Amino acid sequence: MKNMILLDIETGDFDVDSGIYEVALLVIEEGKIVLNEHITEVKDEASIHLGMGKGYAEISQNQLKKEQFRKVINTYNYPIVAHNVSFDRKFLVHYGWLDEDYECYDSIRAIKYANPHLFSYSLGYLLNFYNINCTLTHTALDDVRALYEVILKVNPNMWTPLYKVSPKKFKKFVEATATVEGQSNVFQNKRIVFTGAGPFPRILMKEIAKKCGAIVTGTVSSKTDLLICGEKPGSKLDKANELSIEVQTDEWFIDAVSRDLDLETATITRQSIAITTENSTGQKNSTFRKVPELKGKVVNIALLSRGTQSKVEDILVNLMEVSSINKGTNGYKVDVIIYAEDGDYVLLKKAEELQIKTIHLSKFNEMILS
In the predicted model, is pLDDT for residue 320 greater than 90? Answer: no
In a domain, 275, yes or no: no
CATH value at residue 16: 3.30.420.10
What pLDDT was estimated at residue 177? 66
- Last residue within a domain, chosen from 128, 159, 190: 159
For the chain, give the mean pLDDT.
83
- Last residue within a domain, chosen from 129, 159, 189: 159
- Nearest CA-CA partner of 18 in 107, 90, 69: 90
Domain that holds residue 352: 292-368
Yes or no: say if 9 and 138 are a contact pair by the CB < 8 Å rule.
Answer: no
Q: Are residues 45 and 114 in the same domain?
A: yes
Rounded percentage of the chain residues whose pLDDT exceeds 90: 38
In a domain, 282, yes or no: no
In the predicted model, is pLDDT for residue 300 greater than 80? Answer: yes
Coarse DSSP helix, strand, coil percentages of the chain, rounded to the nearest 5 percent: 40, 20, 40
Nearest-angstrom CA–CA distance, 188 and 179: 16
Q: Are residues 69 and 91 in the same domain?
A: yes
In a domain, 284, yes or no: no
pLDDT band at 4 (very low <50, low <70, confident <90, very high): very high
According to DSSP, the β-strands at 104-106 and 226-229 are unpaired
In a domain, 279, yes or no: no
- Last residue within a domain, chosen from 159, 176, 202: 159
Summarize pLDDT for 222-278 with one digit per residue, the tens: 999 999 987 778 788 888 888 888 888 887 888 788 777 766 544 434 333 343 433
Q: Are residues 188 and 49 in the same domain?
A: no
What pLDDT was estimated at residue 342? 65
pLDDT band at 363 (very low <50, low <70, confident <90, very high): very high
Q: Are residues 230 and 309 in the same domain?
A: no
Nearest-angstrom CA–CA distance, 79 and 1: 9
- Nearest CA-CA partner of 80 in 145, 22, 4, 1: 4
Q: Are residues 22 and 120 in the same domain?
A: yes
Instruction: Count how many domains the chain has.
Output: 3
pTM of the shown model: 0.68
What pLDDT was estimated at residue 36? 94
Nearest-angstrom CA–CA distance, 244 and 285: 10
- Nearest CA-CA partner of 60 in 17, 27, 89: 17
What pLDDT was estimated at residue 272? 38
CATH value at residue 228: 3.40.50.10190
Summarize pLDDT for 278-291 with one digit per residue, the tens: 343 343 334 678 88
Residue type, 327: K
Q: Are residues 20 and 142 in the same domain?
A: yes
Summarize pLDDT for 193-206 with one digit per residue, the tens: 998 877 667 877 88
Q: Are residues 301 and 261 in the same domain?
A: no
In the predicted model, is pLDDT for residue 324 greater than 50? Answer: yes
Among 75-84, 298-307, 342-351, the range with the most confident prediction by mean pLDDT is 75-84
pLDDT band at 24 (very low <50, low <70, confident <90, very high): very high
What pLDDT was estimated at residue 265? 45
Which DSSP helix (H) or strand (E) runs through 76? helix 63-76
Q: Are residues 312 and 252 in the same domain?
A: no
In a domain, 193, yes or no: yes
Q: Are residues 178 and 239 in the same domain?
A: yes
What pLDDT was estimated at residue 76? 96
Q: Are residues 120 and 184 in the same domain?
A: no
Q: Are residues 298 and 259 in the same domain?
A: no
In the predicted model, is pLDDT for residue 109 greater than 70? Answer: yes
Q: Are residues 51 and 188 in the same domain?
A: no
Yes or no: say if 208 and 170 are a contact pair by the CB < 8 Å rule.
Answer: no
CA dihedral sign of residues 36, 55, 107, 289: positive
